[in-house]
Amino acid sequence: MGNRNFITAARVADIPPGTGRTVEVDGVWIALFNVEGTFYAIDNTCPHTGGPLGEGKLCGTAVACPWHGWRFNVVTGRREDNPDFEVACCEVRIKGDFVQISLPPGLSAP
């Protein structure tokens, strides 16, 4: 965590509790969610057919892919119905009025 590179991805006020959105971080599309005031970020690409998870419906800590309904836990990145599938989780911090994200190793722009 010490020397991780955090990049500003959004304003806190732009993502109200119970919602999510897709943001671009260093050339990578990330799904960013606000769960009751705590922010979580996961890889935006559903491993099923590439659906945009940031556009999915958030219910508690689960987001449903808008294309085929695969549900992922935004805290752990694991698929709820089959934990053999998961998406990468990103580190998130709040700096003033901004949400900042650090990409995990291995998650980079194509």
Which residue's entry shows tokens 């650090």?
102
Question: Average pLDDT of the chain?
Answer: 94
Tally of domains in the chain? 1
Q: Residue 107 falls within a domain, yes or no?
A: no
Average pLDDT over residues 64-85: 95
The mean pLDDT value for 62-73 works out to: 97
- What are 30-40's pLDDT values in tens digits? 999 999 999 99
Q: What is the CATH number of the domain that holds 53?
A: 2.102.10.10
Of 2-6, 27-31, 39-43, 84-88, least confident by mean pLDDT is 2-6
- Whether residue 24 lies inside any domain: the answer is yes
CB 37 within 8 A of CB 62: no
Note whether residue 82 is domain-resident: yes
Domain ranges, residue 65: 7-102
The answer to whether residue 1 sits within a structural domain is no
- CA dihedral of 23, 77, 72, 108, whole degrees rounded to 10: 40
Within-domain flag for 109: no
Say what the alpha-carbon torsion angle 92, 93, 98, 104 is, to the nearest 10 degrees.
Answer: -30
pLDDT in tens, 82-107: 989 999 999 999 999 999 999 998 88
